Structure 1
Amino acid sequence: MRLDKWLWCARFYKTRGLAVEEIHKGRVSVNGQPAKPAREVRPGDTVLLRQGPVVREVLVRALSNQRGPAAVAQQLYEETAQSLATRAQAAEQRRLAPEPAASLSEGRPTKRQRRDLEQLRSWGDRWSASIDG
């Protein structure tokens, strides 16, 4: 079975086109080697794929010619213990990370603050900084 079709059937990507795009970007490898979309996948192969910041290593358990429900798709692969531990650790780090918005001291200026800023920036009616005006 083609790698791109298997990734689509196993519900790692929403469309086969997205699967092909990610493979071309080098985000998918099979048995430690870079892959092409038409590469044959067999049960027992190890697929390493990256979805955003998440890296997953899965073992191909079965093949399917059609995309089914998520419960069926999860039976097509088994995620390695190391991959599960890495994902759990990354999720914990994201949970403990500070809220990005908390670092903003003020935020967007109010209408009054904006008018004050514009008044400070403006030169009045002059179009030049010269004293002659």
Structure 2
Amino acid sequence: MDNSGVRIDKFLWAVRLFKTRSLAAEACKKGRVTISKLPVKSSRMVKTGDLIDIRVPPITRTYKVLDVAEKRMGAKLTPGFIEDVTPPDQIEMLELARMASSAQRNKGLGRPTKKDRRDIERLQEGDWDF
């Protein structure tokens, strides 16, 4: 494609960072998408070399635009158009969040019993006997 630029909502959808173009536009509207640390509107043009930050709580992912595209592509083609340059500390934060959520109780198990509650309290206080 030519190097003139593409709307950011269209580009984010084309490289499969958002499932629909509407979701990409909504993320821009809510200020979750930035270029050069400035929030952008969905009509902002993206050019090769731009660094795009997308805030996906609890982290902010950073992508470098290698080439622009308007049409949605297969997942195997996206590495030629965009590169994930998210800092390692952000990836580490994501892993910590995943570990914290796995410590929670599984859905569908109902409320903890008294024994479960006591065990949880002992574990949190550090009085767990192995």
Normalising by structure 2, report the TM-score.
Answer: 0.70
1:106 aligns with 2:113: yes
Report if aligned partners of 1:11, 1:70 keep a CA contact under 8 Å in 2.
Answer: yes
What residue is the counterpart of 2:19 in the other structure? 14
* Structure 2 gaps, min length 5: 1-5, 115-130
**Contact preservation (8 Å) 1:63, 1:76:** yes
Correspondence for 1:45 among 50, 55, 71 = 50
Residue in structure 2 matched with residue 93 of structure 1 by the alignment: 96
Percent identical pairs in the alignment equals: 31
Deviation at 1:4, TM superposition (A): 0.4
Unmatched 5+ stretches in structure 1 = 108-133
Residue 105 of structure 2 aligns to a residue in which SS? Answer: helix
What's the RMSD between the two structures over aligned residues?
2.1
TM-score scaled by length of structure 1: 0.69
SS at match of 1:101: coil
2:12, 2:98 → 1: CA distance? 28
Larger Rg: 1
Deviation at 1:76, TM superposition (A): 1.1
Number of residue pairs matched? 104
CA distance in 1, matches of 2:112, 2:48: 54
Contact 2:58/2:97 (CA < 8 Å) preserved in 1? no
Runs of 4+ in 1 over 4 A off after TM superposition: none
Q: Which position in structure 2 is the counterpart of 1:129?
A: none
Give the corresponding residue for 1:28: 33
